[in-house]
Amino acid sequence: MSTKIKHLEKHLNIGELIASKVKGTFEADFFGNKMLKTGYLVATNQRLLFYRRGLFGINEELRVFPYDKITSIRYKSGVLGETITFTASGSTMNVKHIKSGQSWYVFSDVSNRINK
C-alpha cells in the first residue's frame, strides 16, 4: 500500500475495510471554476471515498459518499485512460485519467453495493 493511501486508514470507521482503489483525477467545483485534483477513489465495505494528501502531507482532503446516496455509476474507457462517473445526492462526480485496466474493480464493487 502506498504511503499516501496508508494515511487514509486513520479516517476509516471501526471494521471498515478497503475493497478496491484507483488513482485518478477528480473534477471539483471551486467557486464556479472547475479544478482537477489527483487522489484515490476508494471503495470500502461501508462507503465510497475520494482521498488526497497534499505535498509534504500538509493538507488532506476526504470526500465521503455513502452507498445509499449513490444513485448511479458509469465506467468509460478511452484514449486518455478510464473514467468513473457517479451521481450522489444529486451531484455528478467524475474521476478521470485512471490508468487502463484499473477502474473496473472499483466500478464493480460500487455497482454491487448500490444495486442491492
Cα 83 → chain centroid: 11
Query: Tens place of pLDDT for every residue, the chain, 116 residues?
Result: 455 677 888 889 999 999 999 999 987 666 677 778 899 999 999 999 999 987 766 788 899 999 999 999 999 998 889 999 999 888 888 999 999 888 999 999 999 999 76
Domains of the chain: 3-114 (2.30.29.30)
pLDDT of residue 28: 67
Segment 57-75, tens digit of pLDDT: 678 889 999 999 999 999 9
Query: What's the pTM value of the predicted model, to 2 decimals?
Result: 0.86
